[in-house]
Structure formats: C-alpha cells, structure tokens
A and B are shown apart, each in its own frame.
Chain A
Amino acid sequence: MALTPETLPRHELNGLPVRVVDSDDDGRVGLEGRVVIETTNTLSIEVRTDGESRVVTVPKSGSTFEFAITDEAADSTKESGTTSKLADTQPGGTERSAPSDSAGEGVAYVTVDGSRLLSRPARRTETNGDSPWQ
C-alpha cells in the first residue's frame, strides 16, 4: 500500500508538497509549500519565499488541497494503472499527470477536499477507508 491517490487521505501528510487550490478565505488560495504539522482541524504549511520560510496554518474544512506525490520509480507502472482508474471512479479527486511542472518524472497531483481529512492525525489511517464514498 504505497502512497497513491487512493491511500493519500489515510497516509502521512507531513512532508508532502501541497498547494491550496480553493479556500473560504481568498487570502489563502495559492499558498504553496510543505506540510509540516497536522492537527485534527488544520494543516500547517511551511512556505518558502526567497530563502525565508514562514509557517501558515490553514483549516482543513473549507479548503481544497492539491498534494504532489512523487512515486518511487519501482511501482510506476502499477501507479499509472491505479491513477487512470481513479479518474473514472473518484468524484472528489481530480488528478492530472503533469509533464509541465517539475520535469514530469512520475509526479501525480491529488486534489482533496479538506473536510475528508478531518480526523486526528494518528487516527486517519484507521477511520478513512480507501473508498471516496464515506
């Protein structure tokens, strides 16, 4: 069970590159960085702007996040199989393989509604099934 678009809501979010694509608060839209701290209701994102880094705390509810997953070369073929299936089955998660950004080497972008991530960090693994239907 590698980190795939399906398992992402149950997987570790800390350390992942993330972008806020939509939010109730317009000021937060477009924030881009790495998740450094997760709490039940928030994600803290470390944003680096020319050498300086600041940490912004974004509530999970009311925001939509786009996580970038780089697959570990080994299961890249399996990965492409699962992601194409995903495009048909998962209404909440759109996913595009991006040749434009970041050299195009096995990067998958997974868009997740923040409300799907509402859970204590350690408990997401048990409580959120792989199914997009809750």
Chain B
Amino acid sequence: MDVAAERIDRLHDLARAAAADGEDDRARYYVRLARRVAERNRLELPRTFRRFTCDSCDAYLRPGTNARVRLQDGHVVVTCDCGSHARYPYDG
C-alpha cells in the first residue's frame, strides 16, 4: 500500500474519532482532505469511507446521531442532517 492510500486510512480513522467527539467541523476537514488526497493520486476511496460520509456536505456520518438509515425494498437510504440522501442496494 502506498503512502496516499495509508493517508486516506488514517484520515478515515481521524474523521471517525472527531465525529465521535462531536467535533463535526474537524471531521469534515479530515473527510475533505482524504477526498483531495484520493483525487490527487487517482485512488478510489474505500467503500466504508464512501458509505459513512456525506457526498454533499462532507460530514462523517454516525447513524442515529447525524444520519438516518432506513431500509426500503432492495435498497438502503441514508439521510444526512443536511438533507441529502444516499441510496445503495442490498441483497436479501
């Protein structure tokens, strides 16, 4: 794994920790920096990172705190406090 991918992993952990401490702006800063590192180095962000961040406001999502997670037939809907929805399919 190269340095850029490791930076993204570290930033993911930092964002999660900051969000858990209620430091939302700091979590946003880590999420944005991780996105920037990924695009500069042409890396795909890890799936857990994509699922736990808001595409529109860059918040680190904590289901039950700043995100609503609902199952509908065949897909999951995640609603951020900013109002944007993310949908992804699930099996079963």
Contact = CB atoms under 8 A, between A and B. Distances in A.
Nearest to B29: A37
A29 to B, nearest CB: 26
13 contacts: A1-B2, A2-B6, A3-B6, A12-B6, A14-B30, A14-B33, A15-B10, A37-B26, A37-B29, A121-B33, A121-B36, A125-B40, A125-B41
B3 A10 contact: yes
Contacts of B40: 122-123, 125-126
Contacts of A10: 3
Given A12-B6, A14-B10, 16 more contacts: A1-B3, A1-B6, A10-B3, A11-B3, A11-B6, A11-B7, A12-B7, A14-B11, A14-B33, A121-B33, A121-B36, A122-B40, A125-B7, A125-B40, A125-B41, A126-B40
A11 B9 CA distance: 11
Interface in B1-51: 1-4, 6-7, 10-11, 13-14, 26, 29-30, 33, 36-37, 40-41
Instruction: Give the contact-size bracket for chain A.
Output: 10 to 19
Interface in A86-119: none
Interface residues of B, number: 18
A7 interface: yes
Nearest to B26: A36
A25 B7 CA distance: 30
The 3 closest A-B pairs by CB, nearest first: A122-B36, A12-B7, A12-B10
A14 B31 CA distance: 12
B41 A126 contact: yes
Interface string A1-28: 1110001001110110000000000000
Nearest to A14: B14
Contacts of B41: 125-126
